[in-house]
């Protein structure tokens, strides 16, 4: 039996691995949730494959470190990162990673379990949608709009409702694998 993938997945091995191993699978680890929220924000105006190809550089610069350490980065340190072509060289997007770490840390300091807090968006249960064709999946939903508003209220950046929906898909809060996809659960 041949493997069937969603129509958006190209034959790029990096993309296929992401589709097969990560996208749509429930993720609860705080560090991974933070990484995916920030990476989805980096995508704004770009294709996901662009971000995916730069993910290792982002991990080296940011996501191998505790969120509390990312929150301590200075503007000067972030501006220095603009010289690395392995990153999307947009100072606003790089500052958003730091600002999101600050916001994340502030919520944790208030006693929030960030995984539970984010997963409240879907009442702690993945939503499995009926998707015949990926082009029929929404770009945003009422739930992604609610998540966007909650995040922005607490100081998160680059978290509009479309970015939030892509995040929800990426971390398995929403499963939008096409009906025929071998990786639909």
* Active centre residues (catalytic): 18, 40, 48
Q: Is 9 annotated for ligand binding?
A: no
Specify the DSSP class assigned to residue 135.
Answer: G
Spatial separation of the C-alpha atoms in residues 18 and 136, rounded to whole Å: 21
Q: Is 61 annotated for ligand binding?
A: no
Instruction: Give Cβ neighbours of residue 138 (< 8 Å, ≥ 6 apart).
Output: 165
Spatial separation of the C-alpha atoms in residues 172 and 126, rounded to whole Å: 6
Q: Is 19 annotated for ligand binding?
A: yes
Spatial separation of the C-alpha atoms in residues 60 and 156, rounded to whole Å: 22
Specify the DSSP class assigned to residue 120.
Answer: G
Q: Is 64 helix (H, G, I), strand (E, B) or coil?
A: coil
Q: Is 80 annotated for ligand binding?
A: no
81-170-137 Cα angle (round to 5): 125
Half-sphere exposure of 85 (CA within 13 A, CB side): 0
Length of the chain (residues): 185
Q: Of 181, 182, 175, 180, which Cα lies nearest the Cα of 25?
A: 175
Q: Which residues are annotated binding-site positions for Zn(2+)?
A: 6, 19, 177, 181
Binding residues: 6, 19, 177, 181
């Amino acid at each position: 039996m041949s493997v069937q993938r969603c129509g958006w997945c190209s034959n790029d091995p990096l993309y296929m691995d992401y589709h097969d191993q990560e996208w749509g699978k429930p993720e609860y680890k705080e560090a991974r949730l933070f990484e995916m929220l920030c990476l989805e924000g980096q995508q704004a105006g770009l294709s996901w494959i662009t971000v995916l190809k730069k993910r290792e550089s982002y991990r080296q610069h940011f996501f191998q470190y505790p969120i509390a350490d990312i929150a301590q980065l200075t503007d000067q340190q972030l501006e220095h990162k603009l010289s690395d072509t392995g990153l999307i060289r947009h100072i606003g997007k790089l500052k958003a990673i730091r600002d999101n770490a600050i916001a994340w840390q502030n919520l944790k300091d208030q006693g929030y379990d960030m995984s539970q807090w984010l997963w409240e968006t879907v009442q702690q249960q993945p939503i499995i949608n009926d998707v015949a064709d990926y082009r029929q999946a929404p770009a945003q939903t009422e739930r992604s709009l609610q998540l966007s508003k909650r995040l922005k209220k607490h100081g998160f950046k680059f978290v509009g409702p479309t970015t939030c929906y892509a995040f929800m898909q990426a971390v398995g809060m929403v499963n939008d694998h096409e009906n025929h996809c071998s990786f639909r659960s």
